[in-house]
Amino acid sequence: MNYTIGEVAKKFKLSPSTLRYYDKEGLLPFVERKDSGIRVFSDNDLQLLDIIECLKMTGMPIKDIKIFIDWCIHGDTTLQERYNMFMERKEIVEEQMAALQKTLSTINYKCWYYKTALSAGTEKIHQDIKPRSLH
């Protein structure tokens, strides 16, 4: 199936200009164009965009995503590089998740703290109550 840039932008919650930028930076090397120059996206292009957006969510810079795309173009000779890159990304995401879990624990504690204070009508209640386990 084929998609317009507007359809793809809407599906990925990106602006058409972002998609044009990705294309200009070489992240979408397989996107075809009509004779008029209009981009036509395929299902494979959408799968690649899923990966691009995933890598962006890990904090990977566009220039490094471009390296990954280049490795894909080179085929099986770059399987080890791609595997190593994803193992590195996995470690980064695990660290991000641990940091977010710590943040969530703090937020959960503060929710408990303020709920208890609201029920008592004062924060002074916490002078006598030790916080319960957050787990």
Q: Is the CA virtual torsion 90, 91, 92, 95 positive or negative?
A: positive
Kindly report, residue by residue over 7-46, the tens digit of the pLDDT.
999 999 999 999 999 999 999 999 999 999 899 999 999 9
**Beta strand ranges found along 15-133 (DSSP E):** 32-33, 39-42
Question: Strand, helix or coil at 36?
Answer: coil
Distance from CA of residue 117 to its chain's centroid? 37
**What's the pLDDT tens digit per position in 97-129?**
999 999 999 999 999 999 999 999 999 888 866
- Cβ 72 vs Cβ 83: under 8 Å: no
pLDDT in tens, 33-89: 999 989 999 999 999 999 999 999 999 999 999 999 999 999 999 999 999 999 999
pLDDT number for residue 129? 61
